[in-house]
A and B are shown apart, each in its own frame.
Chain A
Amino acid sequence: MDTTAALRTEHLSKRFGTTLAVDGLDLTVPAGEVFGFLGPNGAGKSTTIRMLLGLLRPTGGAAWIFGDRADDVQRAHRHLAYVPADVALWPTLTGQECLDLLAGVGPGTDLAYRDELVGRFALEPDRRAGTYSTGNRQKVALVAAFATRAPLLVLDEPTSGLDPLMEREFRRCIAEAADRGQTVFLSSHQLAEVDAVCTRVGILRRGRLVEVAGLAELRRLRRSEVVVDLARPAPELRRLAELPGVADVREVSDLRLTLALTGPPGPVLGALAEADVVRIDVREPSLEEIFLDYYGEVPA
């Protein structure tokens, strides 16, 4: 067994009545990685995370945290800290008391770093949790999680309630965690954030993992949009459509051609060499376009 993986699942499945929320998930996140866990609403991200934490019992398969079975929480949870999508705190406790409690029962906390984080996230720790806004409740959980030295941080949409300033602080904290060698498992709908902090992403659709790839690789795999401007009309370029990896060849005008290209550009460039090309513009797709492609894709 690969005990160096921060997190590993094998055929992990969860059924709620007739809904198959997670369907045979096989996933390995090596230690030290910042992993983005993406997918449309209801894809099964939170369900997966709650199974990783032992809050939900898988109907099939199993998960391991640094080699400890996820359902053995006393051992597995010594390796992790968690920020839920919806942070609920005891309303009569103050923020400080919540932090103290989580530090007291948690996997070990760096109290000096925690106090620094309280300042950086502009948290007012002597207010009662019942008076906190959604974002402030989230900050309590974030401060508690980042202040632990747990080797794995499991974050479920941790920034959905944060303002841009706090969002920036959050990204810094992720970078600091990564520098310390902590592994981050981040579920998020904020694609810019994922783009900025993650090294690898997994995309979940309807409970199934449809892609796991590094961000650079993902870009490479996906098609880019090529715009060709010509000095004079070249009808023979219609043959481009027959080349491998080429799709959507359109003549916008007599002198402009667009096409979508997947894979190496060699054959297309070869074909274009015969024509009188003024300008070629190759545009990489934004991450957003890539994800939207995946989210909307009909499963085979």
Chain B
Amino acid sequence: MTATTTRRPPRAPAAGAGGSPGRLVTGIAVRQVRRGTLVVTLLAGLLPAFVAIQYRSTFEGTIGPASLAALADNPAIRTLFGPAVALDDAGGFTVWRLGTVLGVLVGVWAALTGTRTTRAEEEAGRWDLLLGGRLSLPTVVRRHLGVLLVAAALPGAALAVGLLLAGTAALGAVLFGAALAGIGMTGAALGVLAAQLAPERRTASGMAVAVLLTGLLMRMVGDGVPALAWLHWFSPFGLLGRVEPYAGDRPLPVLVLLAMVAVAGSGAVVMAGGRDVGRGRLAARDTGRRASRLLRSLPGLAVHRMRRPVLAWGAGLGAYFLLIGLLATSMIDFLRENRAFADMAAQAGFAQLGSVQGYVAALFALLAVPLGAFAATRIAATAADERAGRLSLLYASPVGRVRWVLTETAAGAGAVLLLAAIAGLATWAGAAWVGAGLGPGEALAGALSVVPVALLCLGAALAALGWAPSAVLGLGVLPAAGGYLLLVLADSFRWPAWVGDLSPFTHLAAVPAEPWDVAGAVVMMALAAVLAAAGLTRYGSRDLRG
């Protein structure tokens, strides 16, 4: 060789000074998920163990085998609360009481965390820097997915440990934990997959959560209609039921769950390959739409921004409450024939289940949680706009900050009313189909009676927007989700009355079985107004971020 004088380009060192770039990405991902993981893991570890222990001191031995068989056979009970297969056991009761709730919580949290750590980062342009180095997009996605899967499995592990320490059967605890871990990992994988498809975080989150909640609906339908029981095999929640922890103790559904995770996860990595950074696989049309006439005023903008979320939430709530209505007669018949369960349901926060009015009233109380969550997401969207700098141009116009947020709040409150009406009418339609004897006015009144709780959420979210703008969603959902959990626990375990009184749900009457609790509604709305005023005052005078 004579080319010794040829200049060679300097060669990059094999690894950077601070470890391999891949590890660096893992570190970034870990930092983004650790706080939420800690909270959810603690909750999943402590709450079920607590319920199991309390069960021993409250219910142990109060339910006879005949009643149990009746309960397990009733499709309505199964549809709403999941299969009741081992209520005579502390572990089995915990699965029945908390399995679905924890599954939804962990699954949704994992899906939202999945989109937050991937799509939101990419959308904000922070991955451009990351990918300017030696890393490819699939590698970065794979690293994040790995961290997310581990994080999403931790609540399940904590649950198993907690229930083991609480003294429940080992196999049941492990399988319950594994199923919860599987649901969490499915949520995480779906989140990352949706993040490859949709170009915006909000769309991606909506897609992932919608798939999960469709799984919940499939579980309910599969439980309610025996001919459709096979739907369970396609639903993470249905698979949890099929495991039957503390009764059947079947491991096969857990394996199916893991297969779901594998499919969604590898789908995400495959979709990440060959796609443009900053764009999704499902690129929206980028031109050609006629300019909307709504977008010429503040109220128009607020309505424009509300349309799609209202459609999506309305479809979900409508489907769920249609099902509730369809189940009305079989549920009531069952409870009339089995007083023991009516009493037990009353202790679990579902009083007066014996009449169709009492039954729908109990389920309308549940409606407050999604309505409150919807209200909180609307204000969280405002906070996200601020963070991303999208409000600078608006606020540089003669538009006061308080005026714009009030406009959005009004649109949000209107949307809450609309969603409540949709839920009420869907319930009525279902109940009318099976001839349960529920009037449309009754159904509407019942659904609308929980709106004050959602307004309380709106108030809390506005307070957060002023004082803690990075925690709008969490603080906004708190009155509904936290209040609901508090009430159920306080009722189940006969905690002192004042603890339960802290929950807004204590101050909701069982409309349409009972007349409205006007005083309760007034107090809640006054509280909401105070929170909103405090938040807006602060919002109008603090520095704008972004």
Q: Could you tell me which residues of chain B, from 360 to 389, have a CB within 8 Å of some CB in chain A?
A: 385, 388-389
The residue of chain B having its C-beta at the shortest distance from the C-beta of A86 within the complex is: B389
Chain A contacts for B544, CB-based, 8 A: 50, 55-56
* B390–A90 touching, CB < 8 Å: yes
Distance between Cα atoms of A82 and B397 in the complex (Å): 8
* B392–A55 touching, CB < 8 Å: yes
**Nearest CB on A from B304, distance (A):** 8
**Nearest CB on A from B544, distance (A):** 4
* B394–A105 touching, CB < 8 Å: yes
* B392–A107 touching, CB < 8 Å: no
* A82–B301 touching, CB < 8 Å: no
Q: Could you tell me which residues of chain A, from 113 to 150, have a CB within 8 Å of some CB in chain B?
A: 124, 126-128, 130-131, 141, 144
* B295–A97 touching, CB < 8 Å: yes
Proximity string of chain A (17-54) to chain B, C-beta cutoff 8 Å, 1 when within and 0 when not = 00000000000000000000000000000000010011
Q: Does B297 sit within 8 A of A, measured CB to CB? A: yes
Instruction: Specify the main secondary structure of chain B where it touches its partner.
Output: loop
- Which of A71-79, A179-187, A229-237 lies on the face that meets chain B? A71-79
**Nearest CB on A from B411, distance (A):** 15
* B291–A100 touching, CB < 8 Å: yes
Q: Does A94 sit within 8 A of B, measured CB to CB? A: yes
**Nearest CB on B from A8, distance (A):** 18
* B291–A82 touching, CB < 8 Å: no
User: Which of B286, B295, B393, B543 is A82 in contact with, Cβ under 8 Å?
Assistant: B393
Chain B contacts for A105, CB-based, 8 A: 297-298, 394, 397-399
* A73–B395 touching, CB < 8 Å: yes
* A77–B390 touching, CB < 8 Å: no
Chain A contacts for B301, CB-based, 8 A: 101
Q: Does B11 sit within 8 A of A, measured CB to CB? A: no
* B389–A73 touching, CB < 8 Å: no
* A100–B398 touching, CB < 8 Å: no
User: Which of A53, A86, A91 is B200 in contact with, Cβ under 8 Å?
Assistant: A91
**Nearest CB on B from A179, distance (A):** 24
Q: Could you tell me which residues of chain B, from 376 to 429, have a CB within 8 Å of some CB in chain A?
A: 385, 388-390, 392-401, 403
**Nearest CB on A from B464, distance (A):** 19
User: Which of A88, A96, A107, A131 is B397 in contact with, Cβ under 8 Å?
Assistant: A107
Distance between Cα atoms of A154 and B543 in the complex (Å): 19
* B289–A82 touching, CB < 8 Å: no
* A53–B297 touching, CB < 8 Å: no
The residue of chain A having its C-beta at the shortest distance from the C-beta of B390 within the complex is: A88
The residue of chain B having its C-beta at the shortest distance from the C-beta of A52 within the complex is: B396
* A101–B286 touching, CB < 8 Å: no
* B295–A131 touching, CB < 8 Å: no
Chain B contacts for A88, CB-based, 8 A: 388-390, 392, 546
* B398–A77 touching, CB < 8 Å: yes
Chain A contacts for B296, CB-based, 8 A: 100-101, 103-104
* B389–A53 touching, CB < 8 Å: no
Q: Does A259 sit within 8 A of B, measured CB to CB? A: no
Distance between Cα atoms of A57 and B392 in the complex (Å): 14
Indicate the size class of the contact surface on chain B.
35 or more
Distance between Cα atoms of A91 and B203 in the complex (Å): 12
The residue of chain B having its C-beta at the shortest distance from the C-beta of A156 within the complex is: B392
User: Which of A93, A126, A130 is B295 in contact with, Cβ under 8 Å?
Assistant: A93
The residue of chain B having its C-beta at the shortest distance from the C-beta of A148 within the complex is: B397
Proximity string of chain A (184-218) to chain B, C-beta cutoff 8 Å, 1 when within and 0 when not = 00000000000000000000000000000000000
* B543–A57 touching, CB < 8 Å: yes
* A130–B396 touching, CB < 8 Å: no
Distance between Cα atoms of A121 and B61 in the complex (Å): 79
* B398–A74 touching, CB < 8 Å: yes
Indicate the size class of the contact surface on chain A.
35 or more
* A77–B295 touching, CB < 8 Å: no
- Known contacts A91-B200, A97-B295, A101-B296: does B398 contact A78 (CB below 8 Å)? yes
User: Which of A77, A80, A94, A101 is B289 in contact with, Cβ under 8 Å?
Assistant: A94
Q: Does B292 sit within 8 A of A, measured CB to CB? A: yes
Q: Does A158 sit within 8 A of B, measured CB to CB? A: no
Q: Does A6 sit within 8 A of B, measured CB to CB? A: no
* A126–B287 touching, CB < 8 Å: yes
Chain B contacts for A78, CB-based, 8 A: 398
Distance between Cα atoms of A60 and B183 in the complex (Å): 53
- Known contacts A86-B389, A88-B390, A89-B390: does B288 contact A126 (CB below 8 Å)? yes
* A97–B292 touching, CB < 8 Å: yes
Q: Could you tell me which residues of chain B, from 520 to 546, have a CB within 8 Å of some CB in chain A?
A: 541-544, 546
**Nearest CB on B from A108, distance (A):** 10
* A128–B295 touching, CB < 8 Å: no
* B543–A56 touching, CB < 8 Å: yes
Q: Does A106 sit within 8 A of B, measured CB to CB? A: yes
* B396–A53 touching, CB < 8 Å: yes
Chain B contacts for A106, CB-based, 8 A: 397-398
Q: Does B103 sit within 8 A of A, measured CB to CB? A: no
Q: Does B184 sit within 8 A of A, measured CB to CB? A: no
Proximity string of chain B (196-209) to chain A, C-beta cutoff 8 Å, 1 when within and 0 when not = 00011000000000
- Known contacts A77-B397, A97-B292: does B297 contact A104 (CB below 8 Å)? yes
Q: Does A249 sit within 8 A of B, measured CB to CB? A: no
Chain A contacts for B291, CB-based, 8 A: 94, 96-97, 100, 126
Q: Does B282 sit within 8 A of A, measured CB to CB? A: no
Distance between Cα atoms of A88 and B393 in the complex (Å): 8
The residue of chain A having its C-beta at the shortest distance from the C-beta of B387 within the complex is: A88
Chain A contacts for B390, CB-based, 8 A: 88-90
Distance between Cα atoms of A143 and B501 in the complex (Å): 56
The residue of chain B having its C-beta at the shortest distance from the C-beta of A55 within the complex is: B544
**Nearest CB on A from B222, distance (A):** 36
Q: Does B284 sit within 8 A of A, measured CB to CB? A: yes
Distance between Cα atoms of A77 and B544 in the complex (Å): 16
* B399–A126 touching, CB < 8 Å: no
Distance between Cα atoms of A33 and B206 in the complex (Å): 50
Distance between Cα atoms of A186 and B544 in the complex (Å): 22
Q: Could you tell me which residues of chain B, from 274 to 321, have a CB within 8 Å of some CB in chain A?
A: 284-289, 291-292, 295-298, 300-301
Chain A contacts for B287, CB-based, 8 A: 94, 124, 126-128, 131
Chain A contacts for B542, CB-based, 8 A: 57
User: Which of A50, A81, A104, A128 is B284 in contact with, Cβ under 8 Å?
Assistant: A128
Chain A contacts for B199, CB-based, 8 A: 91, 130
Distance between Cα atoms of A87 and B393 in the complex (Å): 8
Q: Could you write out 24 A-B pairs with CB less than 8 Å apart?
A: A55-B395, A56-B544, A57-B542, A80-B396, A82-B392, A82-B396, A84-B389, A88-B388, A90-B390, A91-B200, A92-B284, A94-B287, A94-B289, A94-B291, A97-B291, A100-B296, A105-B297, A106-B397, A126-B287, A126-B289, A128-B287, A130-B199, A130-B200, A141-B393
Binding site for B on A (CB under 8 A): 50, 53-57, 73-75, 77-78, 80-82, 84, 86-94, 96-97, 100-107, 124, 126-128, 130-131, 141, 144, 154
Given A77-B398, A107-B397, 20 more A-B residue pairs with CB atoms under 8 Å apart are A53-B392, A54-B395, A56-B544, A57-B543, A73-B398, A74-B400, A77-B399, A82-B393, A82-B396, A84-B389, A88-B390, A92-B284, A93-B295, A101-B301, A105-B399, A107-B398, A127-B286, A128-B287, A130-B200, A131-B286
Closest 3 CB pairs of A and B: A82-B396, A104-B296, A88-B389
